[in-house]
A and B are shown apart, each in its own frame.
Chain A
C-alpha cells in the first residue's frame, strides 16, 4: 500500500536532502534514517524511510541464486 522509490542523496541540509531519482531531484526529509551523501535511500511521500543496502537489480539476481541453493538443499 505504499509507493516508494529508490534515489541517491546528492546534498544534505540539516534534516532535508536533495535526492536524485532518474534525473529528478526531490526534496526529501531524512529524519527517519541515518544517511550520508552518496547513500541510496527508499523514499515514500517525501521522506526517506530506509537506507538501501543493495541495488534492486543486484538483489533480484541474488534472489535467484538463493532459490537455487535452497532447491539443492531440498533435494
Chain B
C-alpha cells in the first residue's frame, strides 16, 4: 500500500542512475524549501531551479523605466511586492521610494482601478510582470480601464510565456532529465501542451501542485518513469489543471495581447516567448519591454547558468560572498522567488 511514508522511504533509498529534475516554477522552489523536500531525497535525485521567476528574468532596463516614472511629478508606480528590491542599472524601486519616488504595493492589479479613480490628477503605471497565471488578470485590468473610461492608468508589461523557455532549455541544455511543470501556469494553459513536449524531447513532464504531498508524489512519478525508461506527460494536479486549461482566460489573453520575441534577463532573446499589447491597445501601454531591451550583466554574475539549470546557486563563485540578499549582484539573489535568494535564505551555503 503506497502511503506518504513508503514513498518517502523509496525516494530516500533510491540508488538508480542520477536524475536531474528541473522545477520550473519559483513557487515550487519556495515550497520545496518550505517543506524541506531536498532533505527527504536520495542524493542521486537533484532538484534544479529553472527560469520560472518572472522578476528574475525581467530586463534591468524595465526596472529603470519604472524607477523613472516613480520619480516623475504627478506619477505613481503600482506594483506587486516582488518587484520592489530588484535592481535596474542603478536603483531599485525601494531605493527610488526612499528618494521620494511614488510607489505603492497592491495585492491585485484590479486595485489600480480604484487608485486611478480616487486620484484623477495622478498618472498611474502598473508594473505588469508575470507568466500565464497572471497575464489574464492584466487583460481583465485593460477591460476595466476601457469600461470605466479611465484616462490616467496604463500598464508597463514584461509578460513571458513558459513553453518557449522550457523548449529552449530542452534544445540547449542536455543535462536536464525531467520537468516538474509549473502548477498554476498549467491551470491556465492546460496539461495537453506538455504531451507533445514529452514525446519530442523524450523526457517526463509531470504537473505538480504546491503542497508537500503533491511535490513528493510528482517527484516519485518522475523517478518511476525514468526508472522504467518512460517519458510522458502526467497531470498530478487534476483538482485545478484540466487538459485544455482555462479557455476563458486564454481567450482573454489573446484578445488583448499577441506573441512576440522577448528578452529574458540572463538568457537573451527567446523567439515567441513574450506577450505584448496589440496595436489597437497601444494607448494603455506605458512603455513595455521589447526584444530591443538591454541588460547589464554584472561582472562574474552567473545568473544565466542558474536560470538555465546548469549550476546550482552554491556553485556560483559569487554566491554567499560578493552576492548576498542584502548586497545582491544578480536578479536571482534579489527576487523572493529567485533561486539564489531562496537557497541563501534557507542557508544552502
Chain A residues, CB < 8 A from B53? 1
A10 beta carbon closer than 8 Å to chain B: no
Question: Judging by beta carbons under 8 Å apart, are A50 and B246 in contact?
Answer: yes
Contacts of B228 in A (CB 8 A): 74
| Given A50-B246, A59-B239: A45 in contact with B217 (beta carbons within 8 A) | no
State whether A46 touches B184 (Cβ < 8 A).
no
Contacting pair A32 B252 (CB below 8 A): yes
CA distance A71 to B225 in the complex (A): 10
B331 to chain A, nearest CB (A): 13
Is B130 in the interface zone, CB < 8 Å from A? yes
Interface residues in A5-55 by Cβ distance below 8 A to B read 29, 31-34, 42, 44-47, 49-50, 52-55
Asked whether, in the complex, the Cβ of B137 is within 8 Å of the Cβ of A54, the reply is no
- Give, as a whole number of angstroms, the nearest-CB distance from B225 to chain A: 9
Residues of B within 8 Å of A74, CB to CB, are 224, 228
Chain A facing B: main interface SS: mixed
- B1 to chain A minimum Cβ distance, whole angstroms, is 7
Shortest distance from the beta carbon of A22 to any chain B beta carbon, whole Å: 14
| Size bin of chain A's contact surface | 20 to 34
- Stretch from B206-214, B281-289, B319-327 forming part of the interface with A: B206-214
Known: A1-B27, A33-B248. A45 touches B214 (CB 8 A): no
* Size class of the contact patch on chain B: 35 or more
Min CB distance B83 to A, Å, is: 13
Q: Does B267 touch A at the CB level, under 8 Å?
A: no
Question: In the complex, which of the residues B25, B213, B224 contacts A1, with contact meaning CB atoms closer than 8 Å?
Answer: B25
Q: Is the CB of B240 within 8 A of A52?
A: yes
A30 to chain B: closest CB distance in Å? 10
CB distance from B238 to the nearest CB of A (A): 7
Cα A49 to Cα B184 in complex, Å, equals 9
> Which of chain B's residues has its CB closest to A16's CB?
B110
The interface residues of chain A lying within 8 Å CB-to-CB of B240 are 42, 50, 52-53
B26: nearest chain-A partner, CB-CB: A1
From known contacts A32-B252, A44-B133, infer whether A50 and B107 are also in contact, taking CB-CB under 8 Å. Answer: no
CA distance A1 to B2 in the complex (A): 30
Asked if A1 and B185 make an inter-chain contact with CB atoms under 8 angstroms apart, the answer reads yes
Contact between chains at A67 and B220 (CB < 8 Å): yes
Give A5 Cβ to nearest chain B Cβ, in Å: 10
Residue numbers in B under 8 Å from A33 (CB-CB): 246, 248
User: CA separation between A50 and B185, bound complex, in Å?
Assistant: 11
CB-nearest residue of chain B to A59: B239
Evaluate contact between B140 and A32: CB separation under 8 angstroms.
yes
> Which B residues have a C-beta under 8 Å from some C-beta of A?
1-4, 7, 25-27, 52-54, 80, 107-111, 130-131, 133-134, 136-137, 140, 182-185, 187-188, 209, 211, 213-214, 217, 220-221, 224, 228, 236-241, 246, 248-249, 252, 337
21 A-B residue pairs with Cβ-Cβ distance under 8 Å, sorted by A, are A1-B52, A1-B53, A1-B131, A2-B182, A2-B183, A29-B110, A29-B137, A31-B248, A32-B248, A46-B107, A46-B111, A49-B187, A53-B240, A56-B209, A57-B211, A60-B209, A60-B214, A63-B214, A64-B3, A67-B7, A74-B224
Give the 4 A-B residue pairs with the shortest CB-CB distance, closest first.
A46-B108, A60-B213, A2-B184, A2-B133
A29-B137, A60-B209, A68-B1 known; 20 new pairs, CB 8 Å cut-off, are: A2-B25, A2-B182, A3-B27, A29-B108, A31-B248, A42-B184, A45-B107, A47-B108, A47-B136, A49-B188, A53-B238, A53-B240, A54-B238, A59-B237, A60-B4, A60-B211, A64-B4, A67-B2, A67-B217, A67-B220
